[in-house]
Amino acid sequence: MLEADGLHTAACSGGRYARQEMLPEIGHAGQAKLRRAKVMIVGAGGLGSPVALYLAGAGVGTLTLVDEDVVSLSNLHRQVLYAESEVGTSKVAAAAVRLRSLNGEVDIRTHACRLTRENAESLIKGHDVVVDACDNYATRYVLSDACAALGRPYIYGAIEGFCGQVAVLCCPPRRRTYRDLFPDEDALRGMTPFKGVVGMTAAVVGSVQAHEVMKLLCGYGDVLAGRLWTIDLRTMESYVLDI
């Protein structure tokens, strides 16, 4: 059992996970579930940074990162996984170093490639939950279709400017897909994305996505299954809408 693990025992007696394990919603049982869980994060940018950092910190056993990109200077205001010295290097490689230094108990796996219709299902298989931290519409349709086909919860998140949205898709009891939310794939794929964003939008939205993963894995709270949460940080106006 997990108690045999020295680090885990230390954690239970006031160590690494003590502050979350003392919450009745999580406890030792929830911590064990987190440790057994395998979570895939598609995109290691603005959203992927807080998602990966908080899930690694929380002790999710296996984290798989998928991103083909390299770190650039204009990433650093929001992609808190990376440092100036890593500009020009592979995001997933730099992220793995950072995440392993944060929590050596987590198995960090990386794929320096793009998620496509061809590789989506083979990449996703073997994971319990998929987090969407990507930066384009095309990948979101691929992710949603693959998660629906495989029956994996799909933690959707997207940001622009000061606004963000999160939904838990392909997940009972309200199984909805990205296509239910935005059916017009051709139109969206043809739109030129606006790239302006403040780092805090990514921080808030990525943290909400990471916490939906915690709720799903530990089994507490009301998961956003089939519901969309939106936030506008300029006004702090926020909605939860049934999809």
Judged by beta carbon, residue 82 or residue 137, the one nearer other proteins is: 137
User: With contact defined as beta carbons under 8 Å apart, do 226 and 243 qualify?
Assistant: yes
Pattern 20-59, other proteins, x by CB under 8 A: -----------------------x-xxxx-----------
- Spell out the SS3 assignment of 119-164: CHHHHHCCCCEEEECCCCHHHHHHHHHHHHHHCCCEEEEEEEECEE
User: With contact defined as beta carbons under 8 Å apart, do 216 and 58 qualify?
Assistant: no
Q: Does 242 bind other proteins (CB under 8 A)?
A: yes
Residue in 71, 115, 142, 197 binding other proteins, rule: CB under 8 A: 197
Minimal distance, residue 205 CB to other proteins, in Å? 9
Rama region for 8: left / alpha / beta (φ>0; ψ in -120 to 50; rest): alpha
Q: Does 243 bind other proteins (CB under 8 A)?
A: yes
Pattern 145-184, other proteins, x by CB under 8 A: ------------xxxx--xxx--------------xxxxx
* Tokens at 237, concatenated: 């106006």
Q: Which residues of 194-222 are buried (b: 16+ CB within 10 A; e: fewer)?
A: eeebbeebbbbbbbbbbbbbbbbbbeeee
Distance CA 148, CA 154 (A): 8
Stretch that binds other proteins, among 13-21, 58-66, 108-116, 185-193 (CB under 8 A): 185-193
Q: How many residues bind other proteins (CB under 8 A)?
A: 40
* Tokens at 228, concatenated: 């969309």
Distance CA 156, CA 59 (A): 21
Stretch that binds other proteins, among 28-36, 105-113, 186-194, 213-221 (CB under 8 A): 186-194
Minimal distance, residue 104 CB to other proteins, in Å? 27
Minimal distance, residue 161 CB to other proteins, in Å? 8
* Tokens at 222, concatenated: 């009301």
Judged by beta carbon, residue 17 or residue 54, the one nearer other proteins is: 54
Interface residues with other proteins (CB under 8 A) are 43, 45-48, 132-137, 140, 157-160, 163-165, 180-184, 187-188, 191, 193-195, 197, 202, 228, 230, 237, 239-243
